[in-house]
Structure 1
Amino acid sequence: MRVRPWVGAWCIALLCGGAASQTVAPAAHENVNPEAASGYTARQAVSAQRFMVATANPLATQAGYRILQAGGSAVDAAIAAQLVLGLTEPQSSGLGGGAFLVHYAAPKRQLRVYDARETAPAAARPDRFLRDGKPLPFAQAVNNGMSVGTPGLLRGLELAHRQQGKLPWRSLFQPAIALATQGFEVSPRLHSLLVATQAELAAQPAAARYFYASDGQPWPVGHVLKNPEYAEVLRRVADKGADAFYHGDIAHDIVAAVRAHAKPGDLSVADLAGYRAHARDAVCGEYRAYRLCGAPPPSSGPLAVLQMLGIMQHFPMDKLGPRSVEAVHYFAEAGRLAFADRGFYVGDPAFTKVPVRQMLDPGYLARRAALIHPDRSLGTALPGDPAGLLASRAADDALEVPSTSHIVVVDAQGDVLSMTSSIESAFGSKIFVRGFLLNNELTDFSLSFKDPEGRLVANRVQPGKRPRSSMAPMIVFRDDEPYMAVGAPGGSAIINYVAKTLVGVLDWNLDIQQAISLPNLGSRNQATELERGTYLEDMMPALQGMEHEVKTVEFPSGIQGIVIKDGTLIGGTDPRREGLVLGE
């Protein structure tokens, strides 16, 4: 295993220095194989007393850390970090995408969710991804203008800052503006993804000019990449607010890029001008002695996690431990049942009834748990019918590709933030405009909108609708006080990543770093998936003997988490990516 030498080089004068009391997580490792004992062991948990931030990129963490040092709130730090992520980790999130932000305000003891999920254009129709009555192959649906939804990120950040910010809006943009102007070093992860997606990304001329050299080669690790167009967009939004993005020439350029694509989309300037972020109540549930809360529909993530935990509560997970075949079995079976319900019932609540209360009813979850056999797998689980809606619903066939990013923050006044942001698959739609990429989130809708019997899919395409998400930013409470903030990227696997981490901390008493580093696993109501190269592979024969279809897969997660214990902040970041925890 090799320590990345480039992490320290990223620390520029504007963001680093003068912080003798900060605690820094060890550098990530490239191409790490999980160790046999507990998965990845390259990192140790980070402790702090006053505040802490963890993100998927060192420069983003450093930006958020400086904002906290200056007296900024958790929301302030997250905004600064997110704007840097859009520059240094453009494959995962950015101005052209959306987010869900869960926030606990300590003085008011108030929990709020900010929904900045993208919306379908007003011209969108349910058969958007059908040709001759059949779903398009995903590759034909994703990398084009049809997949672009109305971006929501900046409206969401602006709303959260208006209600929870402390420092001036303009000041939060300065770290990202400086980096975009002065340049930042291309990281190993960015380089590897430029190589992996070259055929699709380089096919877009604007993206090719930015991400690849004149000879067509991806920028190498350590190349200093500047993005003056992004800096200029940030300057204008810093001065004028999000209106500078959603109105005027920036909005017109976004629409023009979508409509000029060889497979054009129908996004309009009216769609951008009309976009609104929403403040919502969290969806919450109980697990053992804890109360867990997260983003509600249109995200399916926390709801599915809560269903999984509510089912696993009927089994002795705390006594089985992470190396137990039985624990893997129960975890996978709980996932099958949760994903079965998710596929029929979750969509945008403004357009379809989502029976959240019934899906989390303890009696219903007990009946679901009773379906699990101790010695054999369910195979493919069937959905339940907690609210009498099953006869009118059709199965969803959306495909969510792993990407996305996550931020956790605790500030000096005790505010806690967990935010997941995304442009969907790696580099989104591949459409690059004004220094940022546009999302392909509309492929999170079901490709089909009804079944042969005419029953409608809850998550079908409709004008102005928000596609179902698996993003699962969550905050955990113990004795009515915040105890943990956690979340992850990874498409629909986010649900299993977050559930695994919660079980690791709440059931197995692991510290947050140990729980994050555990091998990833679970079922999305198909095969039982085990992280390749981990000790879980040793369990394959036993699981197959229990009638599990088992697959080993790459699971590059990207989990971030903070636990608040006895007045101490304990942070962890996923060793599978380039993240960093900083605290003081």
Structure 2
Amino acid sequence: MHQLKALLWCCAVLLCVGEAIGSRAFADESPIYSSMATAQPVWAEHGMVSSQEALASQVGVEILKRGGNAVDAAVAVGFSLAVTLPRAGNIGGGGFMLVHLAKENKTIAIDYREMAPSSAHKDIFVDKEGNVDPKLSLAHGLAVGVPGTVMGMELALKKYGTMKLSQVIQPAIQQAKKGIKVTSSLANSLSHPFIKERMLEVPASKAVFYKQDGSNYQPNEWLVQGDLARSLELIAKHGSKGFYEGETAEKIVAAVTAAGGIMTLEDMQNYKAVERQPVSGTYRGYEVISMPPPSSGGVHIIEMLNMLELYPVGELGHNSAANIHLLAEVMKRAYADRSEYLGDPDFVDVPLKALTDKNYAKHLSKQIHADKATPSAQIKPGKLLPYESDQTTHYSVVDKWGNAVSNTYTLNFSYGSGIVAAGTGILLNNEMDDFSAMPGVPNGFGLVGGDANAVQGNKRPLSSMTPTIVMKNGKPFIVTGSPGGSRIITTTLQVISNVIDHGLNIAEATAAPRIHHQWLPDEIRIEKSLNVDTRRLLEAKGHQLSEKSAMGSTQTIMVTDKGLFGASDPRRADSAALGY
């Protein structure tokens, strides 16, 4: 009965839009390299790193060549990106890491998300008139959450790595001390009027990222970060205590306090990174493993895939109007649920099993019409079945033993709060904006939340970061993830579907045009490469389209019996998939 329903739905769609059914090639039936392919992946025999900055990717590859495993390389890349990609790489922010151990056939989720200071409360961003003041959660001391990156990297390395912290952090220290050559991408980001205005207001930020007269660094000039090198050396010598205690902690707290924040030394000292059980599901015979709350990414990746599995997606045609219509309708329903049910699992009861149940997906799919869009105003968080910066960055690592790391971390907005803690060289996050300042009021990415994600002391804000590993026959097949704020989840979803449903190689799956719908606002965000005929067909179904900047920067590795195939997103300059 279920198969009949799916077939009838497909036929209705195709009759409506007048598109011909094409044959579908599954990923494992199509060649890795092909003269028919529109993009080709990078190949490596032993190990591979794909990150948003080529210098950091090379650091990871060198660690692998020296006999380090995927975790050793991932930690080295994380610290290197804090130097080479300051708008997103960090030690003043936080994130999530998935670690797959080949020998044990086990995947671990490490949560090193930032935490709210202990005295934070739900009305912290509300002014005297009862209105939300967005500046307080974006460019103010109150915007800064207690950073988690250093603790998370240390936890991963101690438990699952093979090298010492002082070894893997050394390349980053040298990059900060000797300087990096400014790329055109770095120069352009620092010269952006919004970024520059914000950074020049903070003397310590100006001192690090601009010349003495306030002018911009130009491409091919050298950026030396001496204070950051000193901070990294303290971590190399003392481990996480060199960050959460002593002079670095004192300078971070002083900077936050001077900017109007409430973080204390006790908040720094009490921070803990934690291990969690990954969320997992299945999609057309593949196992999908991703990050659990306080990331919303894994839950909703699986929720959306469960709905897509009910339809013959491959036969709709890649990025056809029928395919995009279905994707948008699925996305709307997942993001409506996100607004109601997701939060920090240490503070709220998140109904994981109910949201990721395939029967719940069947229930939601009954609301989807083949020939017309459902207005978001008519979509509410689903009735669950009974059950017990846009500037983030992602990188993926696979080693010669089959271990894999998928890591996403962030400062939230580009360059975070814009506040460098004087004397440390450390940019501080504005991650507190990821809480719901007030139920129903959108955050900086337009996401609407509720009480489950309200501000509370020591609580971790909800995130869209979605480090993901797709397993095939019990082994890693796709290791992926992306930055992109609220678009992270849908970007990751499309990479997976592009490979499994449409038979694209990993480079094609990465480069393909993307769309996004997050329930509110009620529009499909599209990239400019989506063709005009498809746009008209979508508008005829009742969709509102909004063309905006490119979405995401996926860093992906595909593992095959022919070797490793990597793809670094062409949407961002300077990124690279490198191997040996």
Above 0.5 in TM-score? yes
Residue of structure 1 equivalent to 2:411: 423
DSSP 3-state at the match of 2:453: coil
Instruction: Give the corresponding residue for 2:478.
Output: 484
1:522, distance to aligned residue in structure 2 (A): 2.0
Query: Match for 2:563 among 568, 572, 581?
Result: 568
Which position in structure 2 is the counterpart of 1:440?
Answer: 430
Contact 1:127 1:449 in 2 (8 A): no
1:97 aligns with 2:93: yes
In 2, Cα distance between the equivalents of 1:456 and 1:501? 29
| Distance apart, 1:249 and its partner CA | 1.2
Please state how far the C-alpha of 1:449 moved relative to its aligned partner. Answer: 5.0
> After superposition, what is the alpha-carbon deviation per residue over 1:542-568, rounded to whole angstroms, capped at 9, x for unaligned?
111101111111124111111112241
Amino acid at match of 1:403: Q
Gaps of 5+ in 1: 1-36, 390-400
Q: 1:437 is matched by which residue type in structure 2?
A: L
The residue type equivalent to 1:501 in the other structure is V
For residue 407 of structure 1, what is the aligned residue in structure 2? Answer: 395
Q: Describe the SS at the equivalent of 1:104.
A: strand
Letter matched to residue 211 of structure 2: A
How far, CA to CA, are the matches of 1:536 and 1:298 in structure 2?
Answer: 37
Q: 1:279 corresponds to which residue?
A: 275
**What is the alpha-carbon distance in structure 1 between the residues aligned to residue 40 and residue 207 of structure 2?**
39
- 8 Å Cα contact 1:60/1:84 also seen in 2: yes
Tell me if the contact between 2:491 and 2:551 (Cα under 8 Å) persists in the aligned partners: no
User: CA–CA distance in 2 between the matches of 1:48 and 1:208?
Assistant: 41
Deviations 1:212-246 (CA, angstroms, capped at 9, x unpaired): 12232221111100011111111111111111100
2:455 is aligned with 1:467: no
Where in structure 2 are the equivalents of 1:146-295 lying within 5 Å? 146-196=142-192, 197-261=195-259, 264-295=260-291
SS in 2 for 1:458: helix
Rounded to whole Å, the distance in 2 between the matches of 1:379 and 1:81 is 43
Match of 1:47 among 30, 43, 46: 43
- 2:560 corresponds to which letter in structure 1? K
Q: In structure 2, do the counterparts of structure 1 residues 456 and 521 end up closer, same or farther at CA, with 3 Å as the change threshold?
A: closer
CA deviation after TM superposition for structure 1 residue 290, in Å: 0.6
Distance 1:142 1:430 in 2: 9
Q: Cα distance, 1:133 vs. partner? A: 5.5
What amino acid does structure 2 have at the position aligned with 1:477? Answer: M
Cα distance in 2 between the residues matched to 1:423 and 1:512: 28
Per-residue CA deviations over 1:452-496 (Å, capped at 9, x if unaligned) read xxx961000001000000000000111211111000000010011
The equivalences for 1:490-505 within 5 A come to 490-505=484-499
In structure 2, relative to structure 1, the CA distance for the partners of 1:442 and 1:532 (3 Å cut) is same
Structure 1 position 312 matched with structure 2 position 308:
yes
State the one-letter code of the partner of 2:218.
P
Post-superposition shift, 1:101? 0.2
Structure 1 residues 289-304: aligned runs within 5 Å: 289-304=285-300
User: Match for residue 507 of structure 1?
Assistant: 501
Q: Structure 1: which amino acid aligns with 2:380?
A: L
* Aligned 1:28-67 pairs, distance under 5 A: 44-67=40-63
Deviation at 1:528, TM superposition (A): 3.5
Aligned residues: percent identity? Answer: 34
Over aligned residues, Cα RMSD in angstroms?
1.7
Deviation of 1:210 after TM superposition, in Å, equals 1.3
Deviation at 1:134, TM superposition (A): 3.7
C-alpha distance in 2 between matches for 1:536 and 1:257: 49
Output the CA distance in 2 between the equivalents of 1:532 and 1:104: 33
2:543 pairs with 1:555 = no
Question: Secondary structure of the equivalent of 2:556?
Answer: strand
Aligned to 2:323: 327
1:358 maps onto 2:354 in alignment: yes
Q: In structure 2, how many angstroms separate the alpha carbons of the residues matched to 1:85 and 1:304?
A: 28
Alpha-carbon shift at residue 190 of structure 1 (Å): 1.5
Contact 1:103 1:418 in 2 (8 A): yes
Question: Secondary structure of 1:489's partner?
Answer: coil
1:76 pairs, out of 59, 62, 72, with: 72
User: In structure 2, what is the equivalent of residue 109 of structure 1?
Assistant: 105
Q: Counterpart of 1:71 in 2: which secondary structure?
A: coil
Query: Cα–Cα, structure 1 residues 457 and 387, in superposed 2: closer, same or farther, change >3 Å?
Result: farther
Distance between the aligned counterparts of 1:243 and 1:235, measured in 2? Answer: 12
Judge conservation of contact 2:372–2:542 (CA < 8 Å) in 1. yes
The aligned residue for residue 530 of structure 2 is 535
Give yes or no for contact 1:494–1:557 (8 Å, CA) kept in 2: yes
**Within 2, Cα distance between the matches of 1:450 and 1:94?**
30
The farther-off stretch of 110-119 and 319-328 is 319-328
What one-letter code is carried by the residue in structure 1 that aligns with 2:232?
Answer: L
The alpha-carbon deviation at position 541 of structure 1 amounts to 1.3
For 1:143, give the aligned amino acid. A
d(CA) in 1 for partners of 2:281, 2:186:
37
CA contact (8 A) 2:125 2:136 kept: no
TM-score between both structures, scaled by the size of structure 1: 0.88
SS, match of residue 130 in structure 1: coil
> Quick one: distance in 2 between partners of 1:467 and 1:216?
34
| CA offsets 1:376-407 (integer angstroms, 9 cap, x no match) | 11120221021579xxxxxxxxxxx4110001
In 2, Cα distance between the equivalents of 1:338 and 1:556? Answer: 19
Q: CA deviation at 1:82?
A: 1.1
Cα displacement (A) at 1:440: 0.5
The answer to whether the 8 Å contact 1:489/1:557 transfers is yes
Q: Distance in 2 between matches of 1:279 and 1:126?
A: 26
Kindly state the Cα deviation for residue 166 of structure 1 after the two structures are TM-superposed: 0.9
Work out the CA distance in 1 between the residues paired with 2:385 and 2:360. 10
Q: How big is each residue's C-alpha offset from its partner over 1:100-159, in whole Å with a ceiling of 9 and x where there is no partner?
A: 000100011111000000000001011011113644243443011001000000111111
Unaligned runs of 5+ in 2: 1-35, 442-448
Offset at residue 53 of structure 1 (A) = 0.6
TM-score (norm 2): 0.89
Shift, 1:450, TM fit: 8.2
Please report how far the alpha carbon of residue 163 of structure 1 lies from its aligned counterpart in structure 2 after TM superposition: 1.1
Does the CA-based 8 Å contact 1:328-1:522 persist in structure 2? no
Equivalent residue for 2:24? Answer: none
